[in-house]
Amino acid sequence: MTATRTSRALARGLRRHPLLVVNAGLLLTIGTLGIWCGANVVRANSQVPADLFMQSIASEDGTLGWNQLCPALQQELPRETLEQLTATQRTVASEKGVSLTVEHVGDRPRPNGGEIRFYIATLHTGDGAIGQKTYVITTQANGCVESIQ
C-alpha cells in the first residue's frame, strides 16, 4: 500500500516539475555513456598478444615476443634463437643510438576468429633520421600470433 502511495506521489511530483524528468534523463544518459566509454578504455588498455609481440620488438625482449606466438610458430622458431636475435639487435641499437616506437593503427576480424592487426614501427636514429615499416600480424581465435608480415 505504501509503495502505491509513493509511486503516485512521485508521478504527481514529476508532472509538476518537468525539468526534473529532463535532468533525470540527462543524468541517466551521461551515466550510461560514462560506463560505455569506461568499458572502451579498459578494452583499449588490455594487452592482446599481438600488441605484446610488437611491444617486444620495440623493447627488444625476445622472451616476451616468443610467449605470444602460437605453438606451431614456437616450434618453427625456438625461444633461444629469438632471444639471441633480440640480444644482438639490442647491442647494435645501443651502439648506434637507435630507438623504435610501435603504433597499432587498426585491426580487422577474421571470419573464423582472430584478427588481422596493423602496426607502424618507427625507427629513430641518433642523427635524427627516421624510418618506418608496416607490420601485419594475424592472430588465431585464442589471440596467439599466427603470422607476422
pLDDT tier, 27 (very low <50, low <70, confident <90, very high otherwise)? very low
Give the pLDDT of residue 43.
Answer: 44
- Whole-number percent of the chain with pLDDT over 90: 50
Give the pLDDT of residue 4.
Answer: 77
CA angle 24-30-34, nearest 5°?
A: 145
This prediction's pTM: 0.67
